[in-house]
Chain A
């Protein structure tokens, strides 16, 4: 593989995974289906806008596919200027427009969720009776609404600069490339929380269902979602510590980045406290939840390493960074997605999947993931830089381990695809509540009828009524 091909490969990997998988996966697949049911509504507030956002997503995908098939893009998924505007001769404009268009599908989904949660709740379903999945999606929607338009205008300016030769970001024409990075990360850092917050919502549901206990510290988890969404907007500068930002601004961003760890830690501690002394069953969704809690903790803590400016100067642009964000994105977001998919699959399709295979797949994902990405922490700390197509011999062992891990991981990903499809055809029919879980979605048949409920529910208590979570931690 030539250096040029390698550049195009990791760019397309980044663009497709970030903008077309991680950001829409949980909100679009699980959120669109579950939020109306969880709040006792017949549908989202704007069903036709929901359909529109799907068409927009497909259109954006077609643009990106065109860019990939016609020769690819080599700028990295971040489209950094001035390389993307002045130097690169790949298909930046097509890819940028793909990202721009898909942004609108994200905006419309967020808009739909916010209006739905505000205006469509069933009688008696007050804010503090909402499932935490809904809270997490509400916080996610806030980021989609407030952040996405900024990256839309930014990539539009990159495209305009390539077409019209204006000088907004190009230093040769009087612009500041770091302004691009400011505007880019103003969205793209909060976008990390677009990916992880819905997964956190999923985990909050699964942990309760399979510990048979109410969540420990409901309001803390609910508000920590909002806190992550809001503080997430104040930390974008930690991506550009060494890019030429002033040291003073770097200090501010560094401190604020530490602050965002607090609400994340609250969630981890509260999940752990929920499991503690619970009646825990190890069904496949719960295995993913365990994986999430552990891997997210590792990813989050290494995030603190990177948020410390001094250490970041040492490890920036190395595989340490790559390992860190894959622990959050794959270990966190994808574990949450798979967990949620397994948990609600019987509800969505009305069919049961083979639990034994599912447990095996969860194990493969966990083992394969760690084998892939943990060696990258070490390689990165030893100085292996990212985004080069070759590496010195001393890093061979780590790269071999990563490749082996990736092969195991792929088995873990393909297996669910196989048994999920099999279950639709030949799976056992699912009862309304296969897990013995609580919540409005389990009180309607699987799959739910059109308009979700035969009678509009009236809610008189919190929607999750397991055993109370008390006697742990500080009482």
Chain B
């Protein structure tokens, strides 16, 4: 079928309707801008899934190769600290979600800042617990490398387990630190009354990132801490 040439009509480049002050010049509407931002964050989170995915693949391979060794090594992790941290992180996710909701409902800046700072406090608490655990591993020679000492039956697998433990929780902790940095910016923006029901994309997008980091931990906790739960020496 032959079709006539492209038909191009004009609508004025400068849109007639009044601009929201937060609308960037290359978007037509606030909806388009918000949708683009959240979609962008979701696509970024897909890359994050694959980024952690490489480590999970390594975990899968080596645990498949040596299930007993991994159980033996996992037995030496502190389940209580792990569980406490899981709950701390879930609480921070709740406060984050309520922070987004506060912005969505045009709550006063004080309320918005309260939820965001609460999220940061729980995030920092998580990192504090992590620091205690890391220090404990250092004193017990459980850090892979020349000083690694293992008394059990599977020293090679245990060293592999702790290599993965430090890589996975370390990468997760780096993401937490970045999250705290983002939240600081968001808190300042909220304090300066930047967010209301018409424009809250930065809170929403930062929240997506925070929840993602929470999800990674939801998987790390059982895979690292709990596989030695019923291990008998």
Contact = CB atoms under 8 A, between A and B. Distances in A.
Interface of A: 41-47, 49, 107, 110-112, 114-115, 118-120, 123, 145-150, 152-154, 157, 160, 164-168, 173-176, 179, 182-183, 438-440, 443, 451, 453-463, 465, 467-468
B26 A451 contact: yes
A456 B10 contact: yes
B61 A168 contact: no
Interface string B27-57: 0100010011001100110111111111101
A448 B164 CA distance: 52
Interface stretch (B122-130, B153-161, B223-231): B153-161
A146 B46 contact: yes
A161 to B, nearest CB: 8
A167 B61 contact: no
Considering the complex of A and B, which 7 residue pairs feature the smallest CB-CB distances, nearest first? A455-B10, A149-B51, A153-B54, A174-B156, A166-B163, A43-B26, A149-B50
A13 to B, nearest CB: 26
Interface residues of B, number: 50
A461 B61 contact: no
Contact of A150 (B2, B39, B54, B62): B54
Nearest to B60: A179
A455 B12 contact: yes
Given A145-B47, A165-B144, A460 B54 contact: no
Contacts of B159: 167, 173-174
**B10, B12, B44, B163: which has the most chain A beta carbons within 10 Å?**
B163
Given A153-B52, A167-B144, 5 more contacts: A45-B26, A115-B36, A145-B50, A179-B58, A183-B54
B160 A438 contact: no
Contact of A119 (B32, B57, B144): B32
B101 to A, nearest CB: 25
A146 B145 contact: no
A463 B3 CA distance: 11
A168 B164 contact: yes
Contact of A154 (B4, B40, B54): B54
B84 to A, nearest CB: 27
Contacts of B152: none
B182 to A, nearest CB: 15
Contact of B47 (A107, A154, A183, A453): A107
Contact of B13 (A145, A160, A455, A458): A455
Contact of B6 (A110, A111, A460, A467): A460
B53 A45 contact: no
Contacts of B44: 107, 111
B47 A149 contact: yes
A164 B26 contact: no
Contacts of A110: 43
B1 interface: yes
A465 B164 CA distance: 56
A458 B51 contact: no
Nearest to A175: B160
Contacts of A164: 144-145
B135 interface: no
A382 B112 CA distance: 72
Contacts of A454: 10, 13
B3 A465 contact: yes
A167 B160 contact: yes
B11 A120 contact: no
A41 to B, nearest CB: 7
B50 to A, nearest CB: 4
Contacts of A44: 26
A468 B166 contact: no
Contacts of B21: none
Given A165-B144, A167-B160, A149 B2 contact: no
A461 B10 contact: no
B48 A459 contact: no
25 contacts: A41-B26, A42-B26, A45-B36, A111-B40, A112-B40, A148-B47, A149-B54, A150-B53, A154-B54, A165-B144, A165-B145, A167-B156, A167-B163, A168-B167, A173-B144, A443-B8, A454-B10, A455-B13, A456-B13, A457-B10, A458-B11, A459-B6, A460-B7, A461-B4, A461-B7
B6 A115 contact: no
A42 B11 CA distance: 13
Contact of B5 (A41, A166, A438, A453): A438
Nearest to B5: A465
B151 interface: no
B4 A168 contact: no
**B7, B48, B58: which has the most chain A beta carbons within 10 Å?**
B58
A153 B6 contact: no
A460 B6 CA distance: 7
Given A463-B6, A468-B2, A46 B13 contact: no
A42 B36 CA distance: 14
B163 A168 contact: yes
A123 B54 CA distance: 40
A122 B47 CA distance: 28
Contacts of A175: 62, 160
A84 to B, nearest CB: 16
A42 B50 contact: no
B40 A465 contact: no
A308 B2 CA distance: 44
A146 B52 CA distance: 12
Interface in B117-171: 144-146, 156-157, 159-160, 163-164, 166-167, 171
A443 B7 CA distance: 11
B11 A118 contact: no
B167 A166 contact: yes
Contact of B166 (A150, A166, A179, A455): A166
A463 B166 CA distance: 53
Contact of B57 (A47, A183, A461): A183
A451 B3 contact: no
Contacts of A148: 47, 50
Given A455-B12, A465-B4, A467-B2, A120 B167 contact: no
Nearest to B10: A455
B233 interface: no
